[in-house]
Structure formats: structure tokens, C-alpha cells
Amino acid sequence: MQISLVIPLLNEAASLPELYRWVTEVMQRKGYTYEIIFVDDGSTDDSWRIISGLAEKDKHIKGIKFRRNYGKSQALNAGFRMANGDVVITMDADLQDSPEEIPDLYEMIINDNYDLVSGWKKVRYDSKLKKNLPSKLFNWAARKVSGLSLHDFNCGLKAYKNQVVKDIDVYGEMHRYIPFLAKNEGYTHIGEKIVKHQARKYGETKFGSDRFIKGVLDLITLWFLTRFSKRPMHLFGALGILMFLIGGLATLFILGVKAYKLYYNIPTHLVTDRPWFYIALAAMILGSQFFLAGFLGEMLLKNNDKIKRYKIEQALNM
């Protein structure tokens, strides 16, 4: 099979029939062998009834229905597990992604040997204040942290080699960072394609300000896991040393001042009356806790056989 099209959705009953006809027309015009996997993320409208009806008359249609709304990342992950095509393409169900982009994305994976191609909606029809500005800030931060020169990390229109989607684990709100996840798994041939963005025809956008905040927090989490998940002592040990250094300098300062005043018979206060005593004490306690956290992290990593420390791509004469 050439293409698996994975379409996550939530309450998109109005757009599904038109999207199905458009995708089918493109696939048949190009003569692709394909499957369309709709993942219903707990819709409360007629989305699943429409998907079921399409599946009854078209063998290319597959469907997954969640009992409740779990989020786009979980929907994509379920679709990826089911996908059998050599190339897996994702798109949103709201008709803002054009199925006419499918052939070019497919060719970039097959002919140009990209591991992943991410769409870039260079011209958008969203509200500039509500979505465009937060999106630009988010993408700037994602580029800095990931090292990937992509303009639109959150574009739903992406294409992948099948092996890529099998190797990544999309959870939480990490669908925004799939290129980053792929890079962390060793897939570095990542490209970008300018794609057409269409104005929403049915329903309302599901974008909210809370998604921007969650996206930033997830980016911090992903950066931390990428840098330190295999070596927690490198982070916590460094913080512990810093705290001990602060505490040691504060202690030396207190002792030095005390000794100086005693030597010259200058009236002095108790050490516990000085703020530097509590700074030194707090720093020493924090340093000990950071070291303990790093030590426990290393022990858990060493003793957990389920943690994936590395991946072998090929082996000879074993």
C-alpha cells in the first residue's frame, strides 16, 4: 500500500462528506493504493455515524472511535499504530488542509527520500491577534529549542515514512513537536513544503489561549527529556554543586567576618542572627536534595530494563 491518510477529528460532521469526496477524487486521479483512517476523538455530533456509513460503502475507509475526548496527540498515535502505507500523511478534518497537497508530499518522501515533510501555511486566514501572533512566537521558540528550521511546527498536514510513525510515541500535547520527536529518534532528513491554507468552512476553531500555554510547557518538558532523560545526574548534580558552592561561599563569609571582629574585639552578633547563615543553610539543603534527586534518577534508569537507551538500525555478523 502506498499511502495511509490519518485524519484526527472532533465534531466535524459537517465537513466529513466533502472531505471524503475530495480525498477520494485525488487518490483515484493519481491511481494510488491507499487507506483513510478517521480517528474520532470523542465527538458528540454525528461524526462517527458518518464515518461508519462511509466505511460500509468504501473498503478504503477505516475508523477508530475514542470513548471520550483524549486529545489530538492520542488520536494521531492510534492512527499511526494502524497505518500500513509506505507513506503516512496526516491532515485535519476541517477542510483547512487541502488534499491537493497529498501527491507532492508523497513524492517528497518517495523520490527525495525525506523522513518527514512538514507543511508550512505561509499565508493564513486566521485572526492575526488570536492565532497568528501566538503561532509565530511558539514556532520561534520551537526552532530555537529543537534546532530545526521549520516555520510551522503545528501544521496538521505532514508526511512521514512509515517507520518514522512507528518509532515515535506521541502523547500528551506532543503532536506539535512531532518533527522534534522524530529528530530525537535519529530521523534527521526533515523537510518543509509551503501548503495552501483554506478558510474554515464549517464549525468553529478549537484553538484557545490555553493551548499556547500548554505548548510552551510541553516544549520545556521535551527539551528537558531530550537533554537529561538518559543522564539526570548531569542536571541535578550540576545544580547540587552550584548550591553547595553558594552555601560554601556564604559559610566562609560568615566565618571570615566573625573571626575578623573577634580578632579586633569588635562587637558582633550571633551567627544565627545573620541572614547569610540562613542562605548558607538553605543552599546546603537544596544542594543535598538535588544530588539525591540525580542519584535516584540514575538508579531508576539503571534498573529499569524497559527504558529505551538506544536503537540499533543495522547489525552485521551477529
Same domain, 85 and 186: yes
Sign of CA dihedral 76, 81, 84, 88: positive
Q: Which of 227, 257, 274 is the last residue in one of the domains?
A: 227
Domain assignment of residue 309, yes or no: no
- H-run or E-run covering 268: none
Same domain, 136 and 237: no
The predicted structure's pLDDT at residue 50: 96
- Domain holding 291, by residue range, is 232-303
Domain assignment of residue 99, yes or no: yes
Q: Is the CB of residue 6 less than 8 Å from the CB of residue 80?
A: yes
User: What number is the average pLDDT over the span 148-171?
Assistant: 93
Rounded Cα gap, residues 60 and 25, in angstroms: 13
Q: Which of 201, 227, 253 is the last residue in one of the domains?
A: 227
Same domain, 200 and 243: no
The predicted structure's pLDDT at residue 44: 94
Same domain, 216 and 266: no
Q: Is the CB of residue 198 less than 8 Å from the CB of residue 157?
A: no
pLDDT exceeds cutoff 60 at 316:
no
| CATH number for the domain that contains residue 58 | 3.90.550.10
Q: Which of 210, 227, 244 is the last residue in one of the domains?
A: 227
Sign of CA dihedral 125, 131, 136, 138: negative
**pTM of structure:** 0.77
**Higher per-residue pLDDT: 308 or 54:** 54
- H-run or E-run covering 6: strand 3-9
Domain assignment of residue 189, yes or no: yes
Cell output for 67 = 470513548
User: What whole-number percentage of the chain has pLDDT above 70?
Assistant: 89
Domain assignment of residue 260, yes or no: yes
Averaging pLDDT over each range in 153-167, 235-249, 258-272, 304-318, which range is the top one?
153-167
The predicted structure's pLDDT at residue 107: 97
pLDDT digits (tens, 9 = 90+) for 14-42: 999 999 999 999 999 999 999 999 999 99
Same domain, 168 and 292: no
CB atoms within 10 A of CB 107: 14
Domain assignment of residue 120, yes or no: yes
The predicted structure's pLDDT at residue 219: 78
Same domain, 236 and 223: no
Same domain, 122 and 269: no
Which of 191-195, 207-211, 302-306 is least confident?
207-211
pLDDT digits (tens, 9 = 90+) for 33-86: 999 999 999 999 999 999 999 999 999 999 999 999 999 999 999 999 999 999
Q: Is the CB of residue 177 less than 8 Å from the CB of residue 146?
A: yes
Domain assignment of residue 314, yes or no: no
- Residue 215 — pLDDT band, cuts 50, 70, 90? confident
Same domain, 185 and 238: no
Same domain, 108 and 134: yes
Q: 194: which strand partners?
A: 120
Domain assignment of residue 183, yes or no: yes
Looking at the structure of the chain, the number of domains it has is 2
Domain assignment of residue 317, yes or no: no
Same domain, 137 and 239: no
pLDDT digits (tens, 9 = 90+) for 125-138: 665 555 667 778 88
Same domain, 209 and 248: no
Same domain, 60 and 203: yes
Alpha helices in the chain (DSSP H): 16-30, 47-57, 72-82, 102-110, 133-146, 162-167, 178-184, 209-228, 232-263, 275-303
